[in-house]
């Protein structure tokens, strides 16, 4: 009897705390305050030839990342050599200085370093990641790739064959077909934002070693470049090393880029590309958006987070979670020197193509109406809480600093970003939506099985429907091995 009473008392003693600790599920838990991002200052220095050096000290780990960013890219491609910048970057580490491609790769591997070259629309160059203890040996390799690429003819032929093969494979990739047609329709085939950065068959076949050398000599100048350094180094220790590696780089005077003006979409139209047997339909919807330097930048970021820029966005919740039409639907703004595209996209089941399109336009209409304060707050918190995650590695930080250089942003920009996002008001978000998301002036691209989707798409009466083939979009298929 005494034992039973002890058990009962013990049970009651345990039950009370459990009841008291029962979680309150009547409302979502409150979010913690967004973390404050406070980065070390960026040292702004110059070498003897005027080459700008931006250095952020990060002494937690004995590694360093160095990026040489040149202000040129696919936007600088000559009209008859589309893809030249991309190919030049691809070739820079295929032989440089006194080393061929294999020798260069072996030298990098022996040091346990990483060295790569790349190009985008408005920037290109090379980057190095290495242990500080190996920097003296690794830095000359980076200098060779940036200043002294050899562009060997045999490597060019290998790259040319690889790119032509990729072009051929694109005919079986509806997502590529949709993206190529979307950009070309917005900007035109000769605008840098309208053509694929890798080029087309004619330009890929036409590029020569002389073209690559001329492009490099024209744009790779000290006056057109910035060195970005993040890691366990100090200006006093690093600058002499950079001076030895890059101090004799000629300043040069590259030509200024003048982009043609792009006209906003005048009316809504549908471009339907027939891909017989396609199990899904690739959808691309949008119009010309905003430049990176727009005063509406923060409001656009918050607005797009609500519309399609996060997993819990309206587009994804509607098309994926509620309707089950797709694995994911999203929207984005490509911020560039000139206004890049606003794009909403998804790959949906063939049989619900028309229904999915209707839901896209339902959300476009909805985002232009007054937005609840709680939606704005949730989007701001999402952006603010996630922002510090983009500064976890030296490569991440260097990439962010490159954005400051490319768009002329202040060097203390990062430390003020969260406050500016949190300062966006619902009225500003609604104004951004009404200005940049206009459902009546959008291009609608659908790549799918015409026989199964055309009738439903036309019944929506979104606008004139133009039917194309894959060849209409990508041109005649390249013949590999022929000239």
CB 70 within 8 A of CB 97: no
96 beta partners: 99, 149
Averaged confidence pLDDT in the chain: 93
396: left (phi over 0), alpha (psi -120 to 50) or beta: alpha
CB 37 within 8 A of CB 415: yes
Assigned token pair, 182: 């979307």
Kindly report the length of the chain: 483
- Rounded-to-integer distance, Cα 398 and Cα 390, Å: 10
Report pLDDT digits (tens) over 431-449: 999 999 999 999 999 999 9
Number of neighbours of residue 48 by Cβ within 10 angstroms: 10
225 beta partners: 70
**Four-residue CA torsion sign, 245, 248, 249, 251:** positive
CB 329 within 8 A of CB 345: yes
Second-level CATH architecture of 269-472: 2-Layer Sandwich (3.30)
Say what the pLDDT of residue 11 is: 44
Report pLDDT digits (tens) over 115-131: 999 999 999 999 999 99
Report pLDDT digits (tens) over 56-83: 999 999 999 999 999 999 999 999 999 9
Tokens 């040292």, located at residue: 43
CB 296 within 8 A of CB 290: yes
Q: What percent of the chain has pLDDT over 70?
A: 92
Residues 6+ apart with CB under 8 A from 3: none
Report pLDDT digits (tens) over 220-268: 999 999 999 999 999 999 999 999 999 999 999 999 998 998 999 999 9
Assigned token pair, 333: 């703004």
Query: Does the pLDDT at position 483 exceed 90?
Result: no
Backbone angles phi, psi at 216, to 5 degrees: -60, -45
Residue extents of the structural domains in the chain: 42-246, 269-472
- Rounded-to-integer distance, Cα 446 and Cα 458, Å: 12
Say what the pLDDT of residue 246 is: 98
Say what the pLDDT of residue 38 is: 80
Query: Does the pLDDT at position 179 exceed 60?
Result: yes
Cα separations in angstroms, 395 against 93, 129, 361: 19, 8, 38
- Rounded-to-integer distance, Cα 338 and Cα 461, Å: 32
- Rounded-to-integer distance, Cα 331 and Cα 77, Å: 28
Say what the pLDDT of residue 378 is: 96
Residues 6+ apart with CB under 8 A from 216: 88, 92, 149, 151
Residue closest to 118 by CA, chosen among 84, 162, 143, 86: 86
Q: Categorize the per-residue pLDDT at 12 as very low, low, confident or very high, splitting at 50, 70 and 90.
A: very low
Report pLDDT digits (tens) over 288-313: 999 999 999 999 999 999 999 999 99
Say what the pLDDT of residue 30 is: 66
Query: Does the pLDDT at position 25 exceed 70?
Result: no
Among the residues of 39-171, which ranges form H helices?
84-92, 101-110, 135-147, 153-170
Query: Does the pLDDT at position 481 exceed 50?
Result: yes
Region 42-246: CATH code: 3.30.830.10
CB 274 within 8 A of CB 467: yes
Q: Model pTM?
A: 0.90
Rounded to the nearest 5 degrees, what angle is found at the Cα of 122, between the Cα atoms of 338 and 225?
A: 130
- Rounded-to-integer distance, Cα 323 and Cα 214, Å: 54
Say what the pLDDT of residue 23 is: 66
Say what the pLDDT of residue 479 is: 84
Backbone angles phi, psi at 251, to 5 degrees: -65, -55
Number of neighbours of residue 98 by Cβ within 10 angstroms: 10
Upper half-sphere CA count for residue 376 (Cβ side, 13 Å) = 22
Residue closest to 244 by CA, chosen among 83, 79, 49: 49
Same fold, 42-246 and 269-472: yes
């Amino acid at each position: 009897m005494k034992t039973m009473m002890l058990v009962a008392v013990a049970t009651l003693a345990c039950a009370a705390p459990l009841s008291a600790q029962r979680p309150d599920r009547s409302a979502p838990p409150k979010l913690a305050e967004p973390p404050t991002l406070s980065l070390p200052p960026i040292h702004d220095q110059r070498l003897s030839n005027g080459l700008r050096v931006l250095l952020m000290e990060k002494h937690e780990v004995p590694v360093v990342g160095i990026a040489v960013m040149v202000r040129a890219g696919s936007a600088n491609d000559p009209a008859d050599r589309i893809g030249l910048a991309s190919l030049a970057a691809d070739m820079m580490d295929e032989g440089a200085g006194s080393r061929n491609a294999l020798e260069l790769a072996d030298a990098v591997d022996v040091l346990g370093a990483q060295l790569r070259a790349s190009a985008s629309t408005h920037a290109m160059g090379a980057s190095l990641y290495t242990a500080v203890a190996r920097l003296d040996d690794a830095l000359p390799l980076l200098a060779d790739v940036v200043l002294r690429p050899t562009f060997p003819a045999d490597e060019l032929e290998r790259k040319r064959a690889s790119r032509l093969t990729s072009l051929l494979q694109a005919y079986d990739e509806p997502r590529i077909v949709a993206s190529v047609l979307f950009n070309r329709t917005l900007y035109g085939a000769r605008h840098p934002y309208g053509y694929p950065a890798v080029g087309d068959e004619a330009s890929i076949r036409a590029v020569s070693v002389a073209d690559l050398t001329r492009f490099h000599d024209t744009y790779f100048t000290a006056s057109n470049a910035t060195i970005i350094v993040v890691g366990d180094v100090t200006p006093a220790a690093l600058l002499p090393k950079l001076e030895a590696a890059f101090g004799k780089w000629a300043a040069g005077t590259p030509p200024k880029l003048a982009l043609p003006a792009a006209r906003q979409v005048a009316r809504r139209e549908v471009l339907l590309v027939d891909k017989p047997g396609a199990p899904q339909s690739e959808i691309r919807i949008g119009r010309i958006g905003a430049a990176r330097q727009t005063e509406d930048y923060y409001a656009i970021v918050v607005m797009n987070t609500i519309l399609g820029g996060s997993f819990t966005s309206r587009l994804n919740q509607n098309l994926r979670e509620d309707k089950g039409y797709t694995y994911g639907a999203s929207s984005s703004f490509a911020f560039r020197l000139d206004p890049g595209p606003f794009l909403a996209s998804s790959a949906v089941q063939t049989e619900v193509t028309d229904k999915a399109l209707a839901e896209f336009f339902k959300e476009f209409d909805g985002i232009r109406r007054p937005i609840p304060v709680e939606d704005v707050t949730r989007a701001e918190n999402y952006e603010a809480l996630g922002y510090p995650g983009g500064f976890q590695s030296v490569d991440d930080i260097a990439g962010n600093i490159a954005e400051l250089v490319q768009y002329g942003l202040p060097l203390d920009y990062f430390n003020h970003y969260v406050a500016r996002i949190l300062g966006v008001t619902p009225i500003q978000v609604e104004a951004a939506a009404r200005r940049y998301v206009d459902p009546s002036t959008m291009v609608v691209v659908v790549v799918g099985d015409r026989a199964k989707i055309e009738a439903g798409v036309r019944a929506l009466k979104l606008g004139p429907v133009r039917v194309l083939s894959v060849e209409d979009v990508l041109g005649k298929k390249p013949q590999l091995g022929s000239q």
